[in-house]
Amino acid sequence: MSGTLVLVRHGQSDWNLKNLFTGWKDPDLTELGIQEANTGGKALADYGIKFDVAFTSDLKRAQDTLKIILDNVGQPDLKAFRDQALNERDYGDLSGLNKDDARAKWGEEQVHIWRRSYDVPPPGGESLRDTGARVWPYYLTEILPRVLRGEKVLVAAHGNSLRSLVMVLDRLTKEQILALNLATGVPMVYKLNADSTVASKEVLGDMSGAH
């Protein structure tokens, strides 16, 4: 029997709140973000899952979300791997800019293309396809083998790195993944078949809070 893969997007960060492009910058969680991580952790505790291993990115907001969740499920000392492969999409020259200021500088249409196209990167940054190009190999070599061995694996990461995974798991088209927003702090529980396809998917919370 293969195992369980749980994906959670980090709670709201300080820069989410300020409407800034974040990318590889490293702001803290807000009070709301901490609350969202606690809510996700409690949902997993109520679900009754115990994890064998966890993965997160090289960025503090994902690491802090992971820590809060593990505290809630009673596994504060669980082994956790950190890797840049799971980092948020790199927004390049947009990083740290207010989204409204970026629109004023480059125009509404251009910023929309950078944010919502699949393969057009912002200056100096990554497209969603570029993000997937580093997330997928890491998933295939480090995460998936553990799930297929029957382990229960938790991944706390970012909107775009997780969208790359959801695209593959849910077999979404480029158009469908661009329309998908993942809510902060809401766990998605996947049970996988032995051939790595999805047997079932459960969302533990309200996805309508996506932003």
Segments making up each domain of the chain, as ranges? 4-209
To the query of whether residue 88 is one of the catalytic residues in this protein, the response is yes
Note the pTM of the prediction, 2 decimals: 0.94
95-131 pLDDT, tens digit per residue, is: 999 999 999 999 999 999 998 899 999 999 999 999 9
CA dihedral defined by 175, 176, 179, 181, rounded to 10 degrees?
-140
Of these residues, 10, 36, 126, 158, which one is catalytic?
10
Let me know if 10 is a catalytic residue.
Answer: yes
53-56/80-82 β-pairing: parallel
> Which of 31, 36, 88, 142 is flagged as catalytic?
88
CATH, range 4-209:
3.40.50.1240
Convert the pLDDT of each residue in 172-201 to its tens digit: 999 999 889 999 999 999 999 999 999 999
